A = this chain, B = another copy of it.
Amino acid sequence: MNSFTEENYLKAIFKLSKHKEEVSTNAVADELNTKASSVTDMIKKLADKKLVNYAPYKGVNLTDAGRKIAVSVIRKHRLWEVFLVDKLKFKWDEVHDLAEELEHINSEELTERLEEFLEFPKYDPHGDPIPDKNGNIDRHKEQTLADLSINETGIIVGVKDHSKSYLNYLDNVGLVLGAEVQILGVVEFDNSMSISINKQGKTIISNQASKNLYIKKPN
């Protein structure tokens, strides 16, 4: 068995691996709000357990065994978020911290029954794909609202930033999953956008806001 802490390190390394093959000590320290020296210690332990490949000064990456654990923790995190939002009526900006704890309860039986109870959801409340029990994940489409040009339209399918403040802001302006957004104009100076939401009105959003919204082009 692995401790909560070990699971959190594996999850952090997994997340950071999307951007770079080799993950640096400092990147992990930042992600987990801890110190580089603590990261070095933990990485050595994970390397002893063959959950990461590690060469001093060269960074880490996950072994297959490590990746399997990371994905299973992510699977549980996202399933619990669906439970909290769909069944307990939490809002999408309230569930992350609770899921951060629930994700460490290790019981295949529990996870599978929860998944069934939730009717096999494919995405969590933030639009992130839920890995299946074999560890397969839908690759996330990387197109954001900021990538669209004038007059183009997109459907919101996910958020990149999961912070309470961002999610709250999105709620307030109506930028929720499934909303249809059309670009009315882009300010060249700061890339802020003027948009319509579900063909309604005109809203100005910053580049900071638009580049954190995943969209898909409508069919």
Interface positions of A (Cβ within 8 A of B): 84, 87-90, 94, 98, 101-102, 105, 107, 109-110, 113-114, 117
CB nearest to A105 among chain B residues: B101
List the 5 closest A-B pairs by CB distance, nearest first: A88-B113, A101-B105, A88-B117, A98-B110, A87-B117
- Majority secondary structure, A binding face: helix
Q: In the complex, what residues of B have CB within 8 A of residue A88's CB?
A: 110, 113-114, 117
Q: In the complex, what residues of B have CB within 8 A of residue A114's CB?
A: 88
- Nearest CB of B to A4, in Å: 10
Please state if A89 and B105 are interface contacts (CB–CB under 8 Å): no
Please state if A113 and B98 are interface contacts (CB–CB under 8 Å): no
Please state if B113 and A107 are interface contacts (CB–CB under 8 Å): no
A-B contact pairs, 8 of them (CB 8 A): A88-B110, A88-B113, A88-B114, A88-B117, A89-B113, A90-B113, A98-B110, A102-B105
CB nearest to A114 among chain B residues: B88
Please state if A107 and B98 are interface contacts (CB–CB under 8 Å): yes
- Nearest CB of B to A55, in Å: 36
Q: How far is the CA of A105 from the CA of B104 in the complex (A)?
A: 11
Q: How far is the CA of A107 from the CA of B90 in the complex (A)?
A: 12
Most chain-B Cβ atoms within 10 A of its Cβ — which of A89, A102, A110?
Answer: A110
CB nearest to A87 among chain B residues: B117
- Nearest CB of B to A6, in Å: 16
Q: In the complex, what residues of B have CB within 8 A of residue A117's CB?
A: 87-88
Q: How far is the CA of A107 from the CA of B107 in the complex (A)?
A: 22
Q: How far is the CA of A6 from the CA of B107 in the complex (A)?
A: 24
